[in-house]
A and B are shown apart, each in its own frame.
Chain A
């Protein structure tokens, strides 16, 4: 810097660096951007909004369930509340959350590319997401839908007189954004890896995204067709699901769960990828059994397609089919367990630091373990008859979705926030929030296991007085969880303006994304990186080459 004396001293020693954030300031530069990082931020805004909406519905549900009788809303309104909660959280938050936000932002940087393979398709996917969201929002404000997020016929096809088609169309459309993102990632991983970035040098987040993308591309079209058939049956009475016209309502369940069970893995596989990154970084050890963790993602993606019938044990599905589905469902536990054991083995004798991303990752391991093991309860043919459609199921999938995916999402948010924004957040508050989330989550959902086992059915807005204590505990937990979610919203937004400037690699981590500046320049790297090291190869600071803009401090615009 001693030679760079062109500037007057009054301007300060730091020369403003072009980052993806200050590369253009107009609204147009955001709405028509082809930069994968900006598209990731656009998705972040979209999914955050729908998370908020879904959260408001959850709040209303928990308020109604404070007392045994229905005193806040009518039964009809309650039906709409849990339906909208499920639809918003599943299709508009969880499925796009980690892939579309962090996948978009990080995947090209992690493999050393300038962008995804099809940047225009990437932007299109965001517009498709917003269009689908528009339809679903229209249905929501016009009066909502009350079929449950699963749209089971004959109720959805013959009887429900709410906005089934508009909502279904919204989900139909948003599915294409999911397909395009998946397609883009598959091609990007195959064709855009930097020199030296072999398959076995890929970060495990990339492997997880690859497995997720396969599910998105192979599964989503089936959901689209199924919802289209529901719409056709409602409008012109095509006899696919109506027995009077020669159809079969159980066929809907087959088609719906062919996508919607693998969709669970769309939500949880990227979360597992995030956890692998965080565990390695904060244990300062390479992931134990890298190849096993990588291939277990693919195994989960494939097995995930073979188990959907375990949602249908109490439908009129054949018992023999049930046996097959039950058996294969148990098999999914194997790759899932491989991951959990390997994360634990990575932490064993590691140099663990309890920074906030690590707290979320460790929370994920524990809660996913409970969610996964209770899944085995439900995959058992006999026990499922007892707990099917009870709060046991509700608790189970919230342990996987919230305890798993949401915690990993928050962990990813904290882990990569300095990279995405160039700012550090207050670590003390972040750790406190992580603990509040963990406590609030368990208090919300653990009582629901007991409720379900005692026989409280899901989707009821009244219940017998004996259940009130457990329901009150759950509602109190939900309030605590809400505090734990509002806290990060406050301090993360605060850090955007007031947070300390983040260095390129605040965690001393190993991925390529930490070798460019924070926030990254529009083209990610100053030159194409040549990868000569394996993933999670920890080295001393001096040996770590920085491929970001050199010689200039990490200062984005200061005003």
Chain B
């Protein structure tokens, strides 16, 4: 994938129902390399499901993900296209930090450049890391992977205020190389980073916010 060229990833007509209950209806969302896109919505509005549909691991009733206008059926199966940080711990606990970095093609020294405290954990197994460090490792790995687009589901959860501040800097740095979609309940952090923000409102419709704070109040998010 040519990293110098601008790329666009579009999610269109995303429709998801569980046992007849509508979660997402006709969602449209656009991401671009060089941009951070925010995704906000109240609990249970389907943000995580939408991310998993874009990633390609969750199939809805209808979905269309396009990369530079070309339909991609399972984006995660395309090398160098997309990475996803799920809400829950996802790294097998018996692996060593250095091994996970190698598998994800992430330079451990690059990881430590952002968070020096991680330096001591090179040979540590993931299960021996604290919950916060495990989350930090997962988020950094997904962010630093050599892909065109990254989806971050609650990247600031379980992080201390200082780590959140540093993570914001990493996201800003990485934005120069890729397109990033962030969803987090720390909405001020998301809004501070995002070049464009979508709000998912009941029942499962997306709105591209223009006058952000007044629209967030208008649609009952704030």
Do chains A and B stick together as partners? no
Q: Which residues of A contact B (CB under 8 A)?
A: none
